[in-house]
Amino acid sequence: MISSLDILYILSDIENYERFSPHIKEHLVGNEAWTIIQDMSNYYDKHSEIDWEQFSQWFLLVKHSIFNPSKAEIYKRIFEKLSTYTPDEAIEDDLIEHFVTKDYATKIAETSLAIVEGSADYEMEDVSALMLDFDTELNRSVDLEEIVIDDPLEILKSVSVKTGLEWRLPELNQALGKINKGDFLVFASYSGAGKTTMLANEAWNFAKQLPDDKYVLWFNNEERGEKVRARIMSSITNMSHGEAESAPLSWKERYESSGVSGKIIVKDAGVIFTNEVDRLIKKYPPGLIIIDQLYKIHGFSKKSENEVTRLGMVYNWGRELAKLHAPVIATHQADGSAAGQLYVEMNQLHMSKVALQGEMDAVVTIGKSLAPGYENVRGLYTPKNKLTGKESFKAEILIDPERARYRSP
């Protein structure tokens, strides 16, 4: 049985108070507890936490000095109980679940009503996102794979860069090692330097290493989907667009005999929402997830106050995808200062001052110099690398934009 003391105990945490107090009604707690709850709001204006002995003095000597002795004695006994009170753990969990449920039900109802009334500020995506947050907060789905194993050899294997997916480009193997589930990498460059070509160069190579029931899921919200798919096929077949037009049957035969036909699933849309990603992951279990560009993913704007907060949420979501499903390779844009620069620093990434860099295991930048003779040279650089620790790894590599491939010099 949940008592008024249980509720007051929960509300003695300021975050719980701000979130849950709007859902508490007087008839549920009684007159005395209701008065205390109302006055806690004033107390929190000047204090970040509640010590019940100090609160008792403020309540009886400052806030309600006119109480008669018998009434004051009732409150004294309540505060004396609260000063040493610890609720049963099961009751505390039940109470928090009760208020969390009310909190989300209110948010969902308000959001749904706004949609019904035609508000342009909300979409059904926001209702789905709230439901996902609700399930996550209450830990309703416990995946046994999330329990960390205790076998030393299995632990060593799971974090080893000697097992996992191998890169096609030797320099990436040298810098990053093999990648595994849980790894979250970001490739960044200034516009036109070759991010998508790098993804195409590596995607089909990764696809060849996956078991039959796993896919490379490529979420594209940057270039036109057909153009991206054509670039992937050029990389697979090692044929330029002109060569493919001259020998279409050879292009088709090379692709179908590559061993990766149907293994790379490209989702193309100008706007991609998080729930669309979730649906495709269920339909096509991934061995690798590619998101080009990650910062354009939608589903967080209504829950964030500004772009800085939204980007933090997006990158945290990318990290969670990697932990739950498969390694994630995302792309990010470098700002204008990176134009014409062979090696791009991390502080030149768009919104680099946002605390999103902490989510990444590795940042790989691709730079392009404007110097004569460097037209097909790119600078590969790892300003951040928690995978192998090889930060500041630098190498010049060669790009073949017609065939969407990279190679060593």
User: In this predicted structure, which of 78-82, 130-134, 158-162, 345-349 has the lowest mean pLDDT?
Assistant: 158-162
pLDDT of residue 305 exceeding 60, the answer is no
Instruction: Provide the pLDDT for residue 141.
Output: 44
Which among 174, 223, 215, 229 is positioned nearest to 364, based on CA atoms? 174
Lowest mean pLDDT among 115-119, 264-268, 308-312: 308-312
Rounded Cα–Cα distance for residues 290 and 272 (Å)? 13
In a domain, 119, yes or no: yes
Q: What is the DSSP letter of 307?
A: H
Residue 143: what pLDDT? 46
**133 half-sphere exposure, CB direction, 13 A CA radius:** 17
Q: How far apart are CA 404 and CA 201, in angstroms?
A: 6
What is the number of other CB atoms lying within 10 angstroms of the CB of residue 319?
19
- Above 80 in pLDDT, residue 121? no
Position 146 in a domain: no
Average pLDDT over every residue of 99-104: 78
Tokens representing 125? 């995506």
Question: How much is the pLDDT for 22?
Answer: 81
**pLDDT value, residue 71:** 93
The predicted model gives 100-108 an average pLDDT of: 82
What local confidence, expressed as pLDDT, does residue 142 receive? 42
Given CA atoms 318, 188, 363, 201 in this order, what sign does their dihedral have? positive
Determine, yes or no, domain membership for 145.
Answer: no
User: What backbone torsions phi and psi does residue 50 show, to the nearest 5 degrees?
Assistant: -115, 125
pTM attached to this predicted model: 0.64
Same domain, 251 and 132: no
Are 133 and 220 within one domain? no
First to last CA, the chain: 73
| pLDDT tens digit sequence for 48-63 | 889 999 999 999 999 9
Tokens of 241: 């667009």
Same domain flag for 97 and 216: no
**Span 148-200, pLDDT tens digits:** 556 666 666 655 556 789 999 999 999 999 999 999 999 999 998 999 999 99
Q: What is the pLDDT of residues 310-327, one digit of tens each?
A: 788 888 889 999 999 999
Q: What is the mean pLDDT of residues 277-292?
A: 92
Which CATH number is 217's domain given?
Answer: 3.40.50.300
Assess whether 70 and 175 both reside in one domain: no
Q: Which helix (H) or strand (E) holds 97?
A: helix 89-116
Is the bond preceding residue 293 a cis peptide, omega within 30 degrees? yes
pLDDT of residue 145: 47
170 in a structural domain: yes
Please write the tens of the pLDDT for every residue from 223-232. Answer: 788 888 999 9
Domain that includes residue 115, residue range:
90-139
pLDDT for the residue 381: 96
d(CA 244, CA 28): 74
Residue 147 has pLDDT above 80, yes or no: no
Q: What is the reported pLDDT for 161?
A: 54
The mean pLDDT of the chain is: 86
Res 265 pLDDT > 70: yes
In terms of DSSP bridges, do strands 286-292 and 328-333 run parallel, antiparallel, or are they unpaired? parallel
Q: Per the structure, how many domains does the chain have?
A: 3
Q: Are residues 78 and 117 in the same domain?
A: no
Considering the domain architecture, whether residues 73 and 192 belong to the same structural domain is answered as no
Same domain flag for 187 and 312:
yes
Q: What is the mean pLDDT of residues 36-44?
A: 92
The answer to whether residue 83 is domain-embedded is yes
Predicted confidence at residue 92, as pLDDT, reads: 65
* pLDDT at residue 224 in the model: 80
Same domain, 128 and 224: no
- Per the CB < 8 A criterion, the answer to whether 40 and 11 are in contact is yes
Please check whether residue 314 lies inside any domain of the structure: yes
DSSP 179: B
The average pLDDT across 393-402 equals 96
Query: 232-254, pLDDT tens digit by residue?
Result: 999 999 999 999 999 999 999 99
Query: What confidence category does residue 272 fall into, taking pLDDT thresholds of 50, 70 and 90?
Result: confident
pLDDT mean over 15-42: 85
- Whether residues 201 and 106 share a domain: the answer is no
Are 102 and 195 in the same domain?
A: no
pLDDT in tens, 344-397: 998 888 876 555 567 789 999 999 999 999 999 999 999 999 998 888 899 999
Structure confidence at residue 137 as a pLDDT band (50, 70, 90): low
Sheet holding 264-268, edge to edge: 264-268, 215-220, 286-292, 328-333, 184-189, 362-367, 377-385, 393-400, 405-407
Residues 178 and 293 placed together within one structural domain of the fold: yes
- Eight-state DSSP code of residue 222: S
Same-domain pairing of 61 and 110: no
Whether 147 is covered by a domain: the verdict is: no
pLDDT band at 144 (very low <50, low <70, confident <90, very high): very low
Residue 152 lies in a domain: no
Q: Please give the average per-residue pLDDT across 192-212, as a whole number.
A: 95
Q: Which residue has the higher pLDDT, 170 or 102?
A: 170
